[in-house]
Amino acid sequence: MSLLQVKNLKTYFYTDDGVLKAVDEISYNLREGETLGLVGESGCGKSVSALSLLRLIPYPPGRIMGGEAIFEGKDLLKISEEEIRHIRGNKIAMVFQEPMTSLNPVLTIGFQIGEALELHRGFDRKGARQEVIRLLRMVGIPDAERRIDDYPHQFSGGMRQRVMIAMALSCNPKLLIADEPTTAVDVTIQAQLLEVIKELTSRLGTAVILITHNLGVVARYVNRMAVMYAGRIVEIGPSKEIYRQPRHPYTIGLLASVPRLDQPRKARLIPIEGQPPDLIHLPPGCPFVPRCIHRMDRCFTERPELREVGPDHRIACWVDIHSV
């Protein structure tokens, strides 16, 4: 059953240099309990698309220009401010990229997590404190009874991110958006945090949108993946299928540039030549065309739309890679 339906979402930023099309008509569905990965290089629109769902785009200069985001029968982009505030942190929660900038440095972590419990779940102060201790234990923070009164700066980066996960899951949300949740920690801690998210969301039946540029993360933790480039989805489908048989030239390039353990140690990585396009001055056709080795005349003038290439597998490309 579909939990979230995003249709033709557009989010632009109005700058002195022109209109920057950060998210340009993206569409996808998210099923209940599913984990969807949003993948792509920095600046492709992954985080902006997620912030748009919760209407957290700063205005000015940002503005949601159109589209729909249907969640439990309501369009998140059109409901009132009071309704969206009730959904934020309650039915849709978000783990941000850098916990130190997301947590208030002058309030204890117990107060910050407990505030959401009192607001959304009706706990009194004493009940909220006991629930916060339970949540801290659940995400693996030792000595929770004492650490509940500590401030964010008294935790390591990995522990702060665990606090953010506890806060996000405190109201048993239907959807968790994890925006690069492991960027600020080392590889060992990354794996621990992702396992915590996977275990807890599986237990609660929570759907997840995992935003990342780490293709290794996608392979292990994601059911379906959407590859973004220049504010658009260029390939979407089951992650196993895309890893086995990528169909868009950009996806193929991303996978070819990742080190593999089954390759010889001296094997060269194949980079994607060129640079991402200027989102203020996008070319009229496919935005990937200057970097694509399979380009043809049509690619320079016509923008490709997503089309079916397999079961639940779509790409935005004029070329059939398997016939090249």
Task: Give pLDDT tens digits for 278-290.
Answer: 999 988 899 999 9
Token reading at 245: 């048989």
64-73, 84-93, 121-130, 211-220: least confident range: 211-220
Q: Look at residue 106 and tell me if it is in a domain.
A: no
- Among residues 191, 184, 88, 204, the alpha carbon closest in space to that of 140 is found at 191
Domain range for 213 is: 2-91+171-323
Is residue 151 one of the residues assigned to a domain?
Answer: no
Domain membership of residue 36 (yes or no) is: yes
CATH of the domain at 178: 3.40.50.300
pLDDT at 136: 95
**pTM of this structure:** 0.92
Q: Which DSSP category does 207 fall into?
A: E
- Tell whether 115 is covered by a domain: no
Domain membership flag for residue 114: no
Report pLDDT digits (tens) over 56-107. 999 889 999 999 999 999 999 999 999 999 999 999 999 988 788 889 999 9
- The answer to whether residues 136 and 144 touch, using CB atoms and an 8 Å cutoff, is yes
Q: Is residue 145 part of a domain?
A: no
- pLDDT band with cut points at 50, 70 and 90 for residue 193: confident
Instruction: Give the total number of structural domains in the chain.
Output: 1
pLDDT score of 184 more than 70: no
Judge whether 284 lies within some domain. yes
The b-or-e profile of 204-239 (16+ CB within 10 A means b, else e) is eebbbbbbbbbbebbbebbbbbbbbbbbbbbbbbbb
Q: Does the residue 108 lie in any domain?
A: no
pLDDT of residue 322: 63
